[in-house]
Every structure is written in C-alpha cells, then in structure tokens.
Chain A
Amino acid sequence: MTDEHDPETTRSQIDGAVDEAVRRVVTDPAPATLRARVMARLAERRDRSAAASGGLSWSLRSAVATAVLVLAVATWGLLRAPGDQEDSIATQRAEAESGTAVATGADVAAPAPDAAAPLPVDIDPVASAPVTVAELAVPDAIVLDSIGGLEALEIPEIRIARNVALDMAPLTIETMTLTPLGGRH
C-alpha cells in the first residue's frame, strides 16, 4: 500500500501485526520460473497456430477441389441437352451391337441398354459402368482425387462416379476416359 492508506487507521501494535501477517501471506515474489513458463506457453501457442494454419490450407485446397467438381457436374447437367442423352444412349447401343464398345469386366457380358428405358440415376456400376463413365463430364483426375470428400453428397452423377471408382478396381482412368462426353476418342 502506498500513499493512500486510510488516515484514520491507527498505527497500533495490532495494526502492525495485521499488516505484517498479510504481507507474509502475499508478498512472496513470483516463482523464478513464471516468466519462462509464460514465454514457453506463448511459443507453444504460436507453433500450434502455425500448424493449424497449415491444416487450414490443406482443408481449403480440398474444399476448392470438391467445389470445382460439384460445379463441373452441375454445369454439365445444365448444358447437357436432352437430345444429347438420347444420342449418347443410341451411340452406346450401336457400339454394343457392333462390338466397338469399351468393355471391361462384367461389361463384356452385359446386354445392350434398352433404348426405351430411362437412363438410370443410381446406376449399378458393375452392370452399366460404360454408360455412367461415358456420361460423366468431370475430369477423371478430379473425381478420383475428390472421392474422399464426396461421401455426404447425394448428387447422382457423383455417386455414380464414386461407385465406379470404388467398386470397380480394375477400371482405370485410361478406361474411364475412353468414352468422354460428346463422343469417343
């Protein structure tokens, strides 16, 4: 206490004892390690912050990749005219009948799609992989890179792509890109 002690306080023996007792309780200096520990905690926080910042960048990159994929799929869905779908189905049927279709695994024995039947949305990748892959207007590399981040999405095309990539291990990127949107290689 400095210059503003209560002037009415009497300086008796008991007052002195009270002051002394209080000082004995609370006037120990801070531990010598206090400053070092504070600085260590600040350094630790700085390191964690830097690490978190790096993690955020990774998350951001992943989110951007996913967003690009979703945007591409949505754009493809909007731009793809109904006539294109019919042409595509017709093309595939013709390819199957002529034996020029890309065939992998079970697709070798798969019957040609029925032209009258609507294009299945959640199509079985084993039975109809060429159709779904052929109609996927998304760069395959992005699809494969982003598979892990698409689990919660319910966009049919993405679900198909995921099924193809996950369930048909022998199906390679090269196979998938043999029949891109808009025609064959």
Chain B
Amino acid sequence: MNESELVDRARQGDQSAFGELVRQHQDAVFRAALAALGSAEDAEEIAQDAFVAAYSNLDGFREEASFRTWVVAIAWRRALTRRRRLAYQVRRLVQWTDWNWNMLPGGEPSSEAQLAGAELGERVQRLIQALPPKLRDALVMTIGTDSNYREVAGILDIPVGTLKWRVSEARRQIKAKLSRLGYRDD
C-alpha cells in the first residue's frame, strides 16, 4: 500500500494505516526534533505531539508535499516553539556542556589517528553547537536528515538559495575556528 493510500485510509479512521505511516517516518520526525532541541527526551515528546497533531489534521493535508515532509515540518515548528521558551533556554544553558556528548565516538582507542579523529569530532560538535541557530539548523537538518535541499528549505520555510548559503556559511565558520585551533584543511 503506497503512502497516498495509507493517508486515505487514515483519514477514514483507520488507525492501523496511520500506525504504518508513523513507522515509516518516525526516524525523520524524531531527528528533526532532535536537531532543533538536542535532547532525545524532548525530541521524542515533540515527535509524539507532531504525529498526534498530524492525525488530527489529516483533512488539512493537501498532499502538495510528501506526508513525510509535512509531518517533519509540524515537528520542526513545534520544536522551535519549545526552543524559544525562556524556561527551556535556561534549562538548556544549564545542560549545555552535556549536550549529546554521549554520542561521541566511544570504545577503546586503538591508535593515535583514532584519538585525533575523536578529538576533532568532539571539537566540531562543540563548534556546531556554538553556531548561530539559523546556521546550525540549516546544517544539521541538511546533513542529518535524509532530505534534499528543496525539502529542508520547505521545512525551514526559507528559499533554497538561503538554505544553501546558510549551510555553506556554517561550514566556513567551523573551518575558520578549527583553523585557529591549529587544524589544517589538507
């Protein structure tokens, strides 16, 4: 059953059809929320909210974009709303240094190269977090999700050209800071 048929059946109240849509797109929705919030716990909550909202508003889904892009956009907007809340920002500031560091490469370092690579990765992660939100969002959403520029631009509600510039600028800023830290782009 293709996506359009699943959406039609879900519109008619078939929750199992909607469950299949959730199964197919939950990773993309979760990752978009995670990209915006940086907290897996918050991202899961936002992802749930987004799917529930999507189910409630299926009649408003005009299929101009894919269901995936539509529901990811819902999650993204909700995540941004949460990110803008003052209380959330204060909490994030407190937790800033712990932001996803558990995702850094783990395991036994077997060579200096691995150590150097892990160190570079950690530095890059910190620099990504230090980017202005607009640049960070563009970079993380573009690289971190399986979406093309057009889809990401639609989700972020910006022109494709603006998205490309932001991704490029994010990379440039990271490279410049790494250069000052002694890393050379060979």
Q: Which residues of A contact B (CB under 8 A)?
A: 1-4, 6, 8-10, 12-15, 17-31, 33-35, 37-39, 41-43, 45-46
Contact = CB atoms under 8 A, between A and B. Distances in A.
10 contacts: A1-B148, A9-B168, A14-B124, A14-B175, A23-B143, A26-B35, A34-B44, A38-B19, A38-B52, A39-B22
Contact of A22 (B104, B128, B146, B183): B128
B40 A31 contact: yes
Nearest to A22: B143
The interface residues of chain B, by DSSP majority, are classed as helix
Q: What bracket does the count of chain B residues touching chain A fall in? A: 35 or more
Nearest to A39: B19
Given A15-B171, A19-B143, A34-B47, A4 B52 contact: no
A39 B144 contact: no
Contacts of B6: none
A19 B170 CA distance: 11
A28 B183 contact: no
Given A24-B103, A29-B30, A30-B44, 10 more contacts: A1-B145, A2-B146, A14-B120, A14-B183, A15-B171, A20-B124, A22-B144, A31-B30, A31-B40, A41-B48
B33 to A, nearest CB: 9
Contact of B48 (A8, A20, A26, A37): A37
A26 B145 contact: yes
Contact of A35 (B19, B143, B144): B19
